[in-house]
């Protein structure tokens, strides 16, 4: 009886994930204009009745993103629903996949949409971490005119 032949694996077959930071970025493939992406995110936050929406402009100040958006939900369930709806809206809008962190607990959910990073908090958790104040210290030139009538945090409180 002949032994079964082992399947030959090539180096490309063994590649199951990104090998460098550039590979990882292209794997996520958030596409489009950062300002258009921001507009979609802010619109979705409005649709889902997020509270206290703050946009921080990081263009030219940090390589991690062009904008950070911080918003609150009324409860864990509300934060979770906002994050889920945001993920679907970005995918359906042709912006590609985004990464979510913190969804099971939904006290603080981070949505990495590439050029825009969204932090969703329960109000108590947001008050504790004060993340918009941390980022505002390094961004004195935050957006001069917030899109869609949202506030922009440009100075520490």
Domain spans of the chain, in order of start: 33-145
Q: Which two tokens stand for residue 25?
A: 């970025």
CATH number corresponding to 33-145:
3.30.460.10
pLDDT of 79-138, one tens digit each? 999 999 999 999 999 998 899 999 989 999 999 999 999 999 999 999 999 998 888 754
pLDDT of 24-60, one tens digit each? 444 444 557 899 999 999 999 999 999 999 999 999 8
The phi-psi region of residue 70 (left if phi > 0; otherwise alpha if psi is between -120 and 50; otherwise beta) is beta
Gap between the Cα atoms of 38 and 117, Å rounded = 9
Q: Which residue has the higher pLDDT, 22 or 97?
A: 97
Q: Look at residue 151 in the predicted model and tell me its pLDDT.
A: 52
Gap between the Cα atoms of 57 and 75, Å rounded = 27
Burial class (CB in 10 A: 0-12, 13-18, 19+), 62: middle
Gap between the Cα atoms of 152 and 70, Å rounded = 10
Gap between the Cα atoms of 65 and 141, Å rounded = 15
- The listed range with the strongest mean pLDDT (7-16, 19-28, 51-60) is 51-60
Whether the per-residue pLDDT at 5 is higher than 60: the answer is no
Count other Cβ atoms within 10 Å, centred on residue 123: 14
Q: pTM of the full predicted structure?
A: 0.69
Gap between the Cα atoms of 131 and 89, Å rounded = 25
């Amino acid at each position: 009886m002949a032994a079964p032949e082992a399947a030959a694996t090539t180096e490309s077959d063994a590649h199951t994930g990104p090998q460098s930071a550039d590979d990882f970025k292209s794997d996520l493939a958030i596409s489009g204009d950062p300002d258009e992406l921001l507009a979609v995110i802010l619109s979705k936050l409005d649709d889902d009745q997020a509270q206290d929406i703050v946009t921080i402009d990081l263009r030219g100040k940090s390589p991690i993103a062009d904008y950070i958006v911080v918003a609150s939900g009324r409860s864990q369930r509300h934060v979770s629903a906002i994050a889920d709806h945001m993920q679907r809206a970005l995918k359906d809008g042709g912006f590609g996949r985004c990464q979510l962190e913190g969804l099971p607990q939904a006290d603080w959910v981070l949505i990495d949409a590439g050029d825009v990073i969204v932090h969703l908090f329960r109000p108590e958790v947001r008050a504790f971490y004060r993340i918009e104040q941390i980022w505002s210290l390094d961004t004195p030139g935050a957006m001069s005119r917030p899109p869609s009538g949202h506030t922009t945090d440009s100075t520490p409180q």
